[in-house]
Amino acid sequence: MRVLGKTYTVSYLPPEDMEDAFGICTPSLQTIDIDKEQTVPEELDTFIHECLHAIVRGMRIEFPNYRAEEAVVDRFGAGLAALFLDNPELLKYFQRLVKEANNG
Ligand SMILES: [Zn+2]
C-alpha cells in the first residue's frame, strides 16, 4: 500500500503474533500488521488507525510524546471508521473522485 510516497507491506496475523495489539504500524520497516481475528468493524477501525500512524510519520506531524499521538490517532481512527460505517455511499463518492483525479 502506498502512503505519501512510501510503500507499506500490510500483513494479517494471528493474535499470538500481535504483541497484545490489534494493529502495529512500524514506519521504519514500512509495515502494518493487523490482527486477523477481529470483528469487521474492529478491523476497519484498526486499519484506519494504523494508516493514520503512517500518515503522521509521512507528514512529520509532531506530538509531545507517543501517548499524545496514540490518543489523537485513536479518536480519528474510530471517528473515520464510524463515518464510513454510517455512510456506505461515501466510499462510492471517494472512488469516483479518485478515479477522476487519476484520469484527469
Ligand atoms: Zn496506535
C-alpha cell at 40: 469487521
Residue 27 Cα to ligand 1 midpoint, Å, equals 12
Q: 44 with 85: CB under 8 angstroms?
A: yes
CATH code, domain with 88 = 1.10.10
How many separate domains does the chain show? 1
Task: Check: pTM over 0.85? Answer yes or no.
Answer: yes
> Coil, helix or strand for 6?
strand
Q: How many residues does the chain have?
A: 104
Distance CA 75, CA 19 (A): 21
Ion ligand 1 neighbours (CB, 5 A) are 70
Domain of residue 86: give its range.
Answer: 2-103
Residue 88, C-beta contacts closer than 8 angstroms, at least 6 positions apart: none
pLDDT in tens, the chain (104 residues): 999 999 999 999 999 999 999 999 999 999 999 999 999 999 999 999 999 999 999 999 999 999 999 999 999 999 999 999 999 999 999 999 999 999 87
Distance (angstroms) between ligand 1 centre and the Cα of 36 equals 16
